[in-house]
């Protein structure tokens, strides 16, 4: 019995062993097939990798079919509105593309059939008939003039490198034109080996150019691992940073130094057209860094006049002797009913604007001034654009000789000839400073009594300047009043009269027993008292009310303040302004 069981068990074990052997053979076959497939896959991956490496390192896929334009190391070809024209070695860009890349204010002046273009410190007239370009008043002979093609005007930009302050490269082999601003930083380096320049820093990226050892490249950026470069062929791409050597600076960024360090503290020093400049000998104004005497004006015949003389020259010497910059005011025609037509006549003619600008520039140079304050008021709403052209054309002429242009404007909302005649956004973009005359909230012609400059009104309008008009805060100067108004109303609340009261005279004007009430919305004191059958009202401007308004300069990081006018204030104002503006 035991032996039989052992025999049976032995037989079963033999059968099982044979079965295992048979299964192992099938498994081996499967493994062979799997190994074969794996080997084929690996081989395919290797082949693909080799192909990718070859493509990645040797195949240049970025060949230009049309002329590419690279401005300041950015390929802007896709943004071109019209074709680039090249004739007889001259490169032309369309007026639309000049507007897009260099001068958004460029336009055709039909009066003389010339293109007028401005850029930084240059204004140029480009003829459509003659090979002459007038740059800042001086004629320059050129090889070409502006042309018209298919209804589009094209500008010979290769003849205008002085205007736009650029250098131009024309790489015909690769169909690339480069334009580099001469006021921007440029670095170059030498490459240390033959390289493929890549379109990106990804492992697999197309080759956009090949450069040889010893080639010079422009360095656009360098993070220490990869450098973005521009090759001698004008192509922009990436190489490894360790392949660069002998880096050197071609030119540094040219940073324009501001004439005024810190906040502007300007005061208008007004005197009439028939008077003499005030004698300020022995006077100092603590904290002030700019004075604006009323040296210039347009008379009733539209003629530029100066009222300087010996007293004015003595004033300039006094100001410079105390470290003050002199930005004289120029105003339009003195009589309100005359200024509309006279100003309109000047502004609507390019030649008239040009003549006025030349006279302003000549006077500023002759008297060693530091800038100009343009105070044109009471203009036609329809003249808004041509007045803007005047500022566009004046600013580069004065900036070229180191002078500042500041422009006075009213609050954004108001009458056609008082408020709607200004393009504040454009003026703020072009001029060095735009001055918000933050007063006359309720002015001389108001039919309702009210404050000269309530804090809430000033704050609201600053928001409009900064957000709606999109004016840069460091260009915006807040004008503040050194005066208020005394309003007289009858028993029915009708205004009988109003009169301007200087800050320094307020306490003398008011009765001794008058009760002052602080208005926390307007941030100033208010008084009201009986005068016979009439009621008198005043919203007081004093050092406290002005301090509240001036606090907005720091709150909004504005450029500074301008006060109207010197001589109306109380003595404590200057110390307050100095302390507030030095915060």
SS3 of 336, please? helix
In a domain, 6, yes or no: no
Are the beta carbons of 301 and 343 closer than 8 angstroms?
Answer: no
Both tokens assigned to 547: 């301090």
Confidence band of 374 (pLDDT split at 50, 70, 90): very high
User: Which stretches does DSSP call E strand in 474-533?
Assistant: 476-481, 483-489, 495-502, 517-519, 524-531
Q: Are residues 268 and 245 part of one domain? A: no
pLDDT single digits (tens) 82-110? 999 999 999 999 999 999 999 999 999 99
CATH number of the domain that residue 109 is part of: 3.30.457.10
Phi, psi of 233, rounded to the nearest 5 degrees: -85, 0
Are the beta carbons of 277 and 306 closer than 8 angstroms?
Answer: no
Q: Are residues 215 and 146 part of one domain? A: no
Q: Are residues 350 and 433 part of one domain? A: yes
**Strand pairing partners for 296?**
306, 330
pLDDT single digits (tens) 312-368? 999 999 999 999 999 999 999 766 567 799 999 999 999 999 999 999 999 999 999
Q: Are residues 140 and 214 part of one domain? A: no
pLDDT single digits (tens) 428-482? 999 999 999 999 999 999 999 999 999 999 999 999 999 999 999 999 999 999 9
| Structural domain range at position 75 | 68-168
pLDDT attached to residue 276: 96
- Beta-carbon contacts of 475 under 8 Å, excluding residues fewer than 6 positions away, are 428, 431, 432, 433, 434, 559
Average of pLDDT values for 495-500?
Answer: 97
Confidence band of 40 (pLDDT split at 50, 70, 90): confident
CATH number of the domain that residue 246 is part of: 2.30.30.40
Average of pLDDT values for 46-66?
Answer: 61
Res 56 pLDDT > 60: no
Q: Are residues 386 and 449 part of one domain? A: yes
State the Cα–Cα distance between residues 458 and 420, nearest whole angstrom.
Answer: 18
- Beta-carbon contacts of 246 under 8 Å, excluding residues fewer than 6 positions away, are 189, 190
Confidence band of 15 (pLDDT split at 50, 70, 90): very low
Confidence band of 529 (pLDDT split at 50, 70, 90): very high
H/E stretch holding 35 reads helix 2-58
In a domain, 115, yes or no: yes
pLDDT attached to residue 184: 96
In a domain, 123, yes or no: yes
In a domain, 506, yes or no: no
- Residue of 477, 454, 469 whose CA lies nearest to 260: 477
Res 20 pLDDT > 50: no
Place of tokens 């990804």: 202
Q: Are residues 439 and 567 part of one domain? A: yes
DSSP state of 515: P
Q: Are residues 229 and 371 part of one domain? A: no
Q: Are residues 547 and 398 part of one domain? A: yes
Q: Are residues 76 and 125 part of one domain? A: yes
Number of domains forming the structure of the chain: 3
Q: Is 164 exposed, middle or buried (0-12, 13-18, 19+ CB in 10 A)?
A: buried
Place of tokens 């590419």: 68
Q: Which of 220, 251, 282 is the last residue of a domain?
A: 251
SS3 of 276, please? coil
């Amino acid at each position: 019995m035991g032996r039989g069981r052992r025999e049976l068990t032995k037989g079963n074990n033999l059968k099982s062993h044979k079965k295992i052997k048979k299964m192992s053979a099938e498994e081996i076959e499967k493994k062979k097939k799997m190994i074969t497939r794996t080997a084929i896959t690996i081989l395919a991956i290797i082949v693909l990798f080799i192909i990718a490496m070859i493509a990645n390192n040797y195949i240049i896929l970025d060949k230009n079919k049309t002329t590419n334009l690279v401005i300041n190391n950015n390929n802007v070809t896709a943004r071109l509105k019209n074709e680039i024209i090249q004739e007889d070695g001259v490169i032309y860009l369309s007026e639309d593309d000049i507007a897009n890349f260099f001068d958004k204010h460029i336009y055709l002046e039909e009066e003389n059939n010339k293109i007028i273009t401005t850029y930084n410190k240059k204004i140029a007239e480009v003829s459509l008939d003659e090979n002459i370009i007038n740059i800042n008043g001086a004629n320059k002979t050129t090889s070409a003039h502006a042309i018209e093609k298919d209804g589009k005007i094209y500008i010979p930009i290769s003849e205008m490198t002085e205007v736009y302050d650029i250098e131009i490269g024309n790489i015909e082999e690769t169909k690339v034109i480069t334009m580099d601003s001469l006021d921007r930083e440029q670095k170059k380096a030498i490459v240390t080996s033959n390289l493929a320049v890549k379109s990106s820093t990804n492992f697999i990226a197309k080759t956009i150019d090949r450069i040889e050892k010893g080639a010079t490249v422009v360095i656009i950026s360098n993070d220490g691992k990869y450098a973005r470069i521009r090759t001698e062929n004008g192509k922009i791409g990436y190489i490894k940073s360790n392949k660069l050597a002998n880096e050197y600076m071609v030119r540094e960024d040219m940073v324009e130094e501001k004439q005024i360090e810190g906040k502007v503290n300007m005061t208008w020093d007004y005197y009439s057209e028939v008077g003499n400049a005030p004698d300020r000998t022995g006077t100092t104004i603590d904290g002030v860094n700019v004075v604006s005497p009323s040296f210039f004006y347009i008379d009733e015949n539209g003629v530029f006049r100066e009222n300087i003389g010996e007293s004015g020259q003595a004033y300039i010497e006094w100001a410079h002797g105390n470290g003050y910059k002199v930005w004289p005011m120029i105003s339009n025609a003195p009589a309100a009913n005359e200024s509309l037509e006279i100003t309109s006549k000047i502004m609507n003619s390019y030649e008239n604007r040009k003549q006025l600008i030349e006279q302003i520039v000549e006077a500023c140079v002759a008297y060693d001034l530091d800038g100009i304050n343009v105070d044109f008021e009471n203009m036609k709403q329809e003249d808004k654009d041509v007045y803007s052209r005047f500022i566009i054309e004046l600013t580069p002429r004065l900036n070229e000789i180191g002078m500042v242009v500041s422009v006075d404007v009213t609050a954004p909302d108001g009458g056609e000839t008082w408020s709607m005649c200004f393009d504040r956004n454009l003026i703020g973009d072009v001029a060095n400073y735009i001055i918000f005359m933050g007063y006359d909230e309720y002015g001389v012609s108001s039919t309702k009594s009210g404050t000269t400059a309530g804090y809430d009104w000033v704050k609201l309008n600053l928001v409009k300047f900064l957000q709606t008009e999109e004016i840069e805060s460091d260009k915006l100067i807040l004008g503040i009043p050194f005066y208020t108004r005394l309003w007289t109303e009858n028993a029915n609340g009708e205004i009988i009269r109003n009169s301007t009261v200087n800050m320094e005279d307020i306490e003398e004007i008011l009765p001794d027993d008058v009760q002052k009430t602080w208005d926390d919305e307007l941030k100033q004191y208010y008084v009201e008292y009986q005068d016979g059958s009439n009621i008198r009202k005043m919203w007081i401007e004093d050092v406290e009310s002005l301090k509240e308004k001036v606090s907005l300069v720091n709150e909004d990081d504005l450029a500074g303040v301008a006060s109207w006018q010197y001589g109306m204030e109380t003595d404590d104002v200057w110390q307050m302004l100095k302390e507030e503006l030095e915060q």
